């Protein structure tokens, strides 16, 4: 067996194991939670240009909408005491966050709908991040979890997962995309109507680039995975 093929096989197995364990852990939390009440929803009617979601243990799902308000649904999971969730609108920046009293299980999963063009900054310690039909600048970070982006029209996107993959599909050619993982594959799909300035880096894995490349293009994609393959293809 070729040395790189062997390392790639080990990397693939490691990624699968990591993601499986993360998923099982999340399911275990849900299954053993003493309290898993119905989600609580609310609306933010003030002018919002930026949404910040500071998650800890839970999924984050954000969708772009046609309305002018932000719709938020919070799903709590805890063993003894509910998380202390709060939302603060400071100027035009809405921040969603929570704190957990000391206990075995505690987390909040967010489902949020934002107006078109709103900038988004989200992070979670353990959980998946799903982004759909967004057009504003996007920054997403997961310590352990898969980042999935669908139908993005964002000019800039910065996606990072320490342990988990990144799968992103763009409906409009982005100006700048930065995608990085420590452990996990990266799959990017972008419109093939333009050429891209591409920079990729892998320690264990392969890079497959099938979009047109141009070193002077204003459309730049940087992808880096320490352990995991990279694919950048046209839609």
For the chain, the structural domain boundaries read 3-234
Three-class SS state of 89: strand
Three-class SS state of 11: helix
Are 177 and 168 a contacting pair, CB within 8 Å? yes
pLDDT band for position 84 (50/70/90)? Answer: very high
What pLDDT digit, counting tens, does each position of 122-172 carry? 999 999 999 999 999 999 999 999 999 999 999 999 999 999 999 999 999
Beta strand pairing call for 147-152 and 84-90? unpaired
Three-class SS state of 26: helix
Cα distance between residue 86 and residue 110, in whole Å: 12
Three-class SS state of 59: coil
pLDDT band for position 25 (50/70/90)? Answer: very low
CATH code, 3-234? 2.160.20
Q: Give the pair of three-digit tokens for residue 20.
A: 């499986």
Cα distance between residue 53 and residue 70, in whole Å: 13
pLDDT at site 105 = 86
Cα distance between residue 115 and residue 86, in whole Å: 20
- What is the pTM assigned to this prediction? 0.85
- C-alpha 213: how far from its chain's center? 26
pLDDT at site 57 = 85
Give the CB-side neighbour count of residue 40, counting CA atoms within 13 A.
11
Average pLDDT of the residues in 57-68: 94
Beta strand pairing call for 70-78 and 106-115? antiparallel
Q: Give the pair of three-digit tokens for residue 100.
A: 């957990």
DSSP state of 58: S
pLDDT at site 111 = 98
pLDDT at site 102 = 85
């Amino acid at each position: 067996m070729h040395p790189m093929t062997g390392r790639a096989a080990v990397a693939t197995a490691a990624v699968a194991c990591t993601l499986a364990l993360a998923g099982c852990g999340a399911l275990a939390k849900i299954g053993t939670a003493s309290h898993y009440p119905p989600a609580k929803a609310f609306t933010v009617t003030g002018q919002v240009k930026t949404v910040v979601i500071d998650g800890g243990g839970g999924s984050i799902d954000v969708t772009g909408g046609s309305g002018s308000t932000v719709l938020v649904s919070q799903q709590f999971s805890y063993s003894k005491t509910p998380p202390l969730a709060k939302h603060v609108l400071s100027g035009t920046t809405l921040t969603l966050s929570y704190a957990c009293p000391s206990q075995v299980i505690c987390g909040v999963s967010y489902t949020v709908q934002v107006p078109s063009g709103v900038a988004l900054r989200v992070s979670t310690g353990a959980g998946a991040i799903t982004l759909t039909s967004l057009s504003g600048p996007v920054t997403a970070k997961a310590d352990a979890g898969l980042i999935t982006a669908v139908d993005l029209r964002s000019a800039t996107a910065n996606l990072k997962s320490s342990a988990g993959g990144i799968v992103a599909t763009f409906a409009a050619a982005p100006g700048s995309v930065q995608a990085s993982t420590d452990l996990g594959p990266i799959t990017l799909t972008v419109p093939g109507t333009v050429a891209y300035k591409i920079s990729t880096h892998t320690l264990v894995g392969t890079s497959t680039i099938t979009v047109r490349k141009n070193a002077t293009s204003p459309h730049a994609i940087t992808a880096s995975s320490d352990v995991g393959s990279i694919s950048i293809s046209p839609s």
